[in-house]
Structure formats: C-alpha cells, structure tokens
Amino acid sequence: MTTTRRDLLRFAGGAAFGAFLTPAPWRLITDTALWSENWPGIPRPARGEIRTKFTHCSLCPAGCAVRARCVGQQPVALAGVFGGLCPFGVTAHHLPYHPARLRQGPVKEAAAAVAAAIAKCGPRERVAVLDLRPGRTASWTYRRAMAGVRNGTYIAPAQPPVSVNLANARTVLSLGAPLLDGWCSPANAFAARDRFRLIQAEPVESRTASLADTWLPIRTGSEQALALSLAGALDTRDAAERTGLAERQIVDLARELKENGPALVIDCRMSQNVVALNVDLGSWGRTIVPRPEAPVPAAWKTAAPPAELAAVPDGSIRVLLIDESAPGEYLPWNEIQKKLVSGNPLVVAFACSREGYGQHAQFVLPAAAFPEVTDDLPAAVDAVAPGFRLATPLIPAPDGLVNPVDFVAGVAGLAAPDALRQRADAIHASGKGKLVTYADGKSAAVKEVKADEFWKALNAGACWTGDAAQPGRAPGRDFSPAAEAAVPALTAVAAELAIADSPLMSKVYQESNLRLGPDRVAMHPRSARECGVEDGAKATLETSAGQRRVEVMIDSGICPGVVLVAARPGFEPGQAKVVRI
Amino acid sequence: MKRYGMSIDVDRCNGCGACMVACAVENNIPPAHQGANDRKGITWIRVYRVDNGEDFPDRRSAFVPVLCQQCGEHTPCASVCPQQAVDVDPATGIVGQMPERCLGCRYCMAACPYHARYFNWWDPAWPAGMEKTLNPDVALRMRGVVEKCNFCHGRWHAAKQRAAAAGKKDIDPADYVPACVDACPTGAIRFGDLNDSATAVAEDARKPESFRLLEKLHTDPKIYYRSKKDWVKEIASAPRPGARKESLRG
C-alpha cells in the first residue's frame, strides 16, 4: 500500500475536523483569555495581611468616622462607622494619587519671599492667614502666630453661631441648605429623617428638595425674605412677590411651623435672621443650641481673634497665607482681592492641587491630603455637644510636602510643637465627657482613662464627646432687613464641584449624568429657548467669574431664569449670560 | 438554599452616587476612560434620575439605582451566552459572570432588558500609584469582555472562608453585605436572603408599595423597589412610549 498525497490531505483534514470534537480548542480559548487577563499592562492588586483601621474623614467639616480596610499599610476601601459615607468619603483614599495632586513646590523660595515681604510691610499693612476651616487646633496655632506678628490678622469665614439638634425637630424648614446632601453629617441627618417633616424652599429641585416632604420653589435670593415674613417682620404680600409663592402658602407654612413644633429653620450659614426666627418659634434649647467647642490650653487664650473678611480694610493685606489643605467654605476671590494691597501683594496657598486659590497665588505649596494628614475636626453644625476627633494618617505623606501650621508658626517665630497633644491633654485635664472607641464600640468616662491612653486612643480613631452645654439665654430677636436686589434675566446658581476628588468620581460626572459635571450647565427649557440653545448645545457662559465654554443640559426642575452651573467652591451667584456657539 | 436579594427604597435615595463609586472601589472598576460616556462607561450599579414629566414648579424627581436584577427564571443573559460565561448559582441564586470565558460577543447585553451589563471598551487603567488601592479579593477584567454586578461575590467568598475558619456551616448574614449597601448613607438599600421570611429584605418584598422592574417580562428579578409615588411605579413597568411624558437620565 502506498501513501499518496491525497491520503495525507485526508488525514490532515480529518485530524483538523476531529480536533474540534475534543476539548483542546475550547481549552485554548479559555487559556488565551486567562493569559490576556494577566498581561503586563493589567495591574495586579497587592496582597498582604488584611487590617482594619479607624480614623475620621477630614474632607468636610462633618468629620464622619471612617473604617478603613487595609492590605498591609495600604487602605483599599473606606466605609462609615455609623452608617454610610458620601461618595467623596468613600473614595477619599484615592486622593493622594490624583493626577492633579501637587507633590513638590518652591518651599524655600516662598519662605524667603514671605520673610522679605513682612520686612517691607508698611505701618498699616497686614500679614494675614486665611483659614477655610476655623475651630481646629491648627486654627488656634494660626491665631497664636498672628498675635505675635505686627498687624497679624486671622481671617476665617463666618461660622454658624449655633448648632442644630435634628433629633428633637418635628418640622424642619430648609431655606436652600442641602440638609440631606452634605450640609451636616449624613449619619445624623438620616438617623433623624423619619421623625421630622422636611420642607425645602429653593429655586432648584436639588437632591434635598427631591426627598423633601414639600418642595417650595422660590425665586433666587428670596430665602431671607421668606424667613422675615415667617417671623412677621415682612409683609406677607411683599414676601409673596419676592419669593414667587402664593400668600396662602406663606401663611400655611407659618402656621405649620408654630403648630407642628418643635420646629427648626435652617439656611446654609445659619444667618442672623434664621437664628432669630428659630428663637421666635421657641426652638432655642430644643432644636438650636449654642455651638460648643472643645477645651483649649489656657495659654492659648491670648491668640488673635478671628476676623471676617468684610471687617478687614480694603487694600491692607501685604502677605496672605491661605490654608486650603482643610477645605471649608471658600470665600470669593473677588472679595479677597479687594483686601490685598495694590502694589505687589504676596499670596501663598497651601493646597493639594492648583484648582482652588492656587490659581491666584504666587506660590502654591503642596500640603498633605486625606488620608495622609494629621488634623483635628471642629464640632459639626449638627453636634450639640463638644467633640474632639483626629484625622489620623492611614498612609505616610510623601517627601516634599509642607505642613502649613509649621510654615506659619515659623514665619511668626512661634514654637508650637505637638499642639494637638497639648489640646488633648487640656481636654483630658477637664475630666469631662467620655471617650468612644470605634474598634470595640465601647465608651469610657474620661476620668477613668490616663492621659497617655487617652491620646493613644484618639490616634487609633477614637472620639471624645463632651457634655452638652446648657442653652443659656436666647439671643435677641434682631432681624436685619433683606436686601431687595434687582433680579437679573438669567441668574447663575452653583452646583458645587469639589476642588479635588477621586478619579472614580468620573462614574457620576462622566459615565452617568447623576451630578452636573464640569463645564456643564442646566437650564429650564423656557430659559434655554430664550437663550437660543437646546439640550446638548455648546455655549459660552458669562458670569462675574469670567467666560467659559459649557455644554447645556435641559432640566425642567430648574426655575425659569436660573442657570445651574457646575462650579468650584467660591462661585458667587449672580447675573449670567448664555450664548450659543 | 439561599436566594439573595435586595430591596431599594426609592423614596429614601438622594442620588448621591456613593453606591456607584463604592461598587467601583470594591470591584476594581477603573475610572472613566477619556472617551467613555453614559453608553460606554462601566457602572455595575447606576443611579437614574427619573421624573414625573411635569414642568416647573410641579416637576418631581426620584432616583432609581439600577443594577443587575439577578433574574430568577429564564435569565435572559444566561440563556443566550454561547460560552456558558453566565451562570446562576443554585446555592445563592446569584447570577455570576465569568469574564475569562467571555468572548465579548455582547449577546447578553442585547438580551438584558435592564441594561445592567457593561462591556470593557478599553484596557483597565488607573492613574499612577492608584493601582495600590485595588481590592486583592477581586480579579481585574480585560478589554473585550462583559461584566456586571455579582452582589460582590468576593465578599461572599471571604464570608464563606471566615465561616469555615470558625467551624460554621452557614455564613453570618452580617458578614456578607455588598459594597453598595455598606456605602449607602441614606440606608435606602437592604440586602439579605429572600427565602428567609424573617429578614428585612423579605419583609420589604412583601410590602404593598414594593415592585420590581419590568415584571411583565416574568424574569423574576431579586431586586425589589419601594415607593409610595404611583408615577415611580409606572415608570418601573415601562409603559408604552408616548403614553406618559416620563423622562429619565442617568
């Protein structure tokens, strides 16, 4: 028998056909998939011992307790201790790796420039520190440093003079405050939510408005007029005209607040009129109480008092040091600029990125980001008792960063080592309150804990809670008149963007339209028609902050005449113009 | 036999997006690629904003988190997959996806009536250094495969291991909670065994205001939604286009 070429071809064809009936090709597909899954371009998660650490989130003043799941020393997931966290808190462990993160800066040059500028300061010129989150131990160090500098001024945004007790409220009227979206600790707000009726008054159907029992769509900037009307300090007809509500609605609202008490009225900053209205409603000591503060060492009491920016004379600041490392309320740059001397002022910002005040500063020095930072958190607006909590680092800060407290203390020649420890010792020495340890959920009276153990526990993520103060005498019933400004044809209102957030927040900005992303604006269809733009159109937005290119989104939940702008903190509402490109 | 499911209180969801990013953190989903949008992005759970179709000031919105509905019967994605890359675990009822078997044909995406499956259009990439924060319990997926919510299966395995180490046969219910449930600041999402009538999620499923998405398709989803607003329930049943003025974006 001879083997022909035809036999060979038959054999090869048969073998190829037969191979398809074996597992080999299917196995090859799976193996190819497995190989490609592990190619060098795909990162491999690190492995190691799983540990749990506790700390407090320092991204906003709420200071939520955080449980970190770590692989070795590296946090890989963050969760809340008393409930969930906001999306910024959940992804906070990514911040050190943000592409816009500052890692190096001209520290020596900045120090030399500050020293030279201070030496040149005229008799009426000031050296000032702007602290976006007052009430911290770092704030006290700034105040002490400024007390030691000629014409030193410590500037901080106005803080709410009172705390709110949501647990006691049966009716809550929110005048534009995002109560359920970051105004206070989410755990507190949602724990109390089922017990109160929420009425939200604002021109945009915000997240809080969408969850409110009643949404009162009022005109932009008419919140104070509504507060005055409810207190009887403004005629109802006048208030109805300014807010766009019916007179009947305002009368019914006033009656509900009185009859379904204890009532609580809030706005973003707990303004004087709102506090006075609460006092008027009999809420003092029930739903609002004086703002508590943790004890400080007696020697610190000689520190410079906080000043509001408006109280600083125009054209008087020669050197301005801005601590942006602990984000808080941003003051509009236009207002800050007015206070700087006209000739060659020096502005130094301590920040994690250049997105904030760094855009206007001569020097931007890199500061530690959460969770590399060691800082304490002042009492949140919904804390009725004083507290002391530390944001302790979960990972070490890289080399090259600057501690703004050390920098400012160095400028003033102030020796302030271990200020946090000094404050913890002062709190311990007061012997008041209790220490709550998150790891085991136990609490102990401070009197029963030694000073070293107290400090150690705080660094391991524990929290000191003091005794709630007696409300004392209620503040006077002083109302300031609401300014009646002309309403522009189109008003820009900010939907705030964080200065720095995790790259994963692109899930909510870019891969879904859940939050208004950067360079986007939202308008009512009628306003869009008047501006000649439609959904998805490219346009230019002109506001007091300048001109920029945006994409228009149509949203019929927005009051006509309002354009919702995704803006960095510090954006001031005001006249706007949208022009189609 | 377990039948894990979820209940979502739509009236309590404020649309913050914590569940979306917590899911991405837990399951090693990369940040959005430059070219990604709402169609090409990967969000195993996506919160849609829906509204009643009225104009200002009568407009009212609600936020509806949509994830894989973990269909119980006639699971559309499993029945069309040519690679058996989708399976329903009889022990837990979880519809699992095996990316290493996936060919990337996207039949399952076309079959899924809930648009809860996502295709990897790009290689997974993180900013420099951020790969250190990846979860070691979850394997990364490559470009060209489909992925979806699996009720954080990595957490289920970890809970099983802890139970085995403690000499227990069953896992402690508190030990196995998906990342979105853990992260939700409003407490809108609950998770548990639907076969155990004592669990909160089983109780929620029995409530009169409870509903499931597209029930008319008889896919027997294990995600139960709750809302007291009729217009939200109507949207969930997807009426004939044009019958109402509902709109949604997400």
pLDDT of residue B242: 46
- What pLDDT sits at residue A341? 95
Q: Which residues contact A436 (CB under 8 A, 6 or more apart)?
A: A442, A443, A462, A463, A464, A465
Contact A187 B185 (CB under 8 A): yes
| Predicted pLDDT at A432 | 92
Tens of pLDDT along A72-90?
A: 999 999 999 988 899 999 9
pLDDT value of position A301: 87
pLDDT of residue A242: 92
A162-290 shares its CATH topology with A491-580: no
Bridge pairing between strands A546-554 and A538-543: antiparallel
CB atoms within 10 A of CB A115: 13
Rounded mean pLDDT of A197-222? Answer: 93
pLDDT over 80 at A568, yes or no: no
Tokens at residue B139, please? 């394997």
Please give, rounded to a whole number of angstroms, the shortest distance from the CA of B102 to a CA of chain A: 8
Nearest to A83 among B60, B136, B187 (CB): B187
pLDDT for res A34: 67
Please write the tens of the pLDDT for every residue from B35-44: 998 889 999 9
- Residue contact B134–A43, C-beta within 8 A: yes
Kindly list the domain boundaries of chain B, sorted by start residue: 4-249
Q: Assess contact for A544 and A575: CB atoms under 8 A.
A: yes
Distance spanning both ends of chain A, measured CA to CA: 84
The alpha helices in A193-261, defined as continuous H runs, are 207-211, 223-230, 236-243, 247-259
A172 and A266 in contact (C-beta within 8 Å)? Answer: yes
Q: What is the mean pLDDT of chain A?
A: 91
Predicted pLDDT of residue B101: 85
Closest partner CB to A30 (pick from B26, B60, B101): B101
> Hey, what CATH topology would domain A491-580 get?
Barwin-like endoglucanases (2.40.40)
Asked if B47 has any chain A CB less than 8 Å from its own CB, the reply is: yes
The more confident residue out of A281 and A291 is A281
Mutate to test the interface with B, among A188, A210, A249, A496 (most CBs of B within 10 A): A210
Over 90: is that where the pLDDT of A422 sits? yes
Question: Is B244's pLDDT higher than 70?
Answer: no
Q: Please list every residue in chain B whose beta carbon sits closer than 8 Å to the beta carbon of residue A39.
A: 142
pLDDT confidence of residue A38: 66
DSSP state of A523: E
- Class of the CATH domain delimited by A162-290: alpha beta
Over residues A23-32, the mean pLDDT reads 79
Count of Cβ atoms closer than 10 Å to residue A6 Cβ: 8
Contact A77 B135 (CB under 8 A): yes
Cβ under 8 Å to A: B residues 207-246? none
Quick check: B111 contacting A, CB < 8 Å? Answer: no
Report residue A526 as tokens: 């009628």
Lowest mean pLDDT segment, chosen from A352-366, A443-457, A470-484: A470-484
DSSP-assigned states of every residue in chain B = ---EEEEEEGGG-----HHHHHHHHHTTPPPPPTT--TTTS--SSEEEEEE-SPPTTS--EEEEEE------SS-HHHHH-TT--EEE-TTT--EEE-TTT-----HHHHH-TT--EEE--S-----TTGGGG--TTS----TT-EEE--S-HHHHHHHHHHHHHTT-SSPPGGG---HHHHH-TT--EEEEETTSTTSHHHHHHHSTTEE-TTGGG----SEEEE-S-HHHHHHHT-PPTTSS--EEE-
Q: What is the pLDDT of residues A96-112, one digit of tens each?
A: 999 999 999 999 999 99
In the block, residue with structure tokens 């894990």: B4
Top residue of A78, A508, A510 to mutate, by most chain B CBs within 10 Å, is: A508
Is B152 near chain A, with CB under 8 Å? no
pLDDT of residue A496: 74
CB A52 within 8 A of CB A461: no
The verdict on ipTM greater than 0.90 is: yes
* B98 and A CB contact within 8 Å: no
Q: Under an 8 A CB cutoff, do B133 and A508 touch?
A: no
pLDDT at B250 over 50: no
Which one is predicted more confidently, A36 or B53? B53
**What integer pLDDT is reported at residue A161 of this predicted model?**
86
* pLDDT attached to residue B24: 98
Query: Which chain A residues are within 8 Å of B21, Cβ to Cβ?
Result: 87, 90-91, 502, 504-505, 507-508
Domain boundary assignment for chain A: 162-290, 491-580
- Which residues does chain A have within 8 Å of residue B41's beta carbon, measured at their own beta carbons? 507, 510-512
Span A235-264, pLDDT tens digits: 999 999 999 999 999 999 999 999 998 999
| A74 compared with B247, residue with greater pLDDT | A74
B249 has pLDDT over 50: no
Q: Which residues of B touch A43 (CB under 8 A)?
A: 124, 126, 131, 134, 140
pLDDT of residue A484: 65
Residue B161 confidence (pLDDT): 93
pLDDT digits over B154-204, tens only? 999 999 999 999 999 889 999 999 999 999 999 999 999 999 999 999 999
Hey, what are B148's tokens? 């979806």
Residue A274's nearest CA partner among A181, A173, A373 is A173
Architecture of domain B4-249: 2-Layer Sandwich (3.30)
CA distances from A166 to A82, A103, A172, A264, A426 (A): 16, 41, 8, 8, 30
Task: Give the model's confidence band at A421: pLDDT under 50 very low, under 70 low, under 90 confident, else very high.
Answer: very high
Query: What does DSSP say about strands A577-580 and B210-211: parallel, antiparallel, or unpaired?
Result: unpaired
Interface contacts A/B by beta carbons within 8 Å: 217
Chain A partners of B185 at a C-beta cutoff of 8 Å?
80, 83-86, 186-187, 190
A62-72 tens-digit pLDDT? 999 999 999 99
- pLDDT for A36 equals 64
The predicted model gives A427-442 an average pLDDT of 92
Retrieve residue B201's tokens. Answer: 């999620």
Residue A338: phi and psi, rounded to 5, are -60, -30
pLDDT digits (tens, 9 = 90+) for A493-549: 887 777 778 999 999 989 988 998 888 999 999 999 999 999 999 999 998 878 889
Q: What is the least distance, in Å, from the CA of B188 to any CA of chain A? A: 10
At residue B239, the pLDDT reads 60
Interface test with A, best of B12, B13, B16, B98 (most A CBs within 10 A): B16
Q: Chain A contact for B51, CB < 8 A?
A: yes
**How many Å separate Cα A392 from the centre of its chain?**
18
What is the band of B243 on the pLDDT scale with cuts at 50, 70, 90?
very low
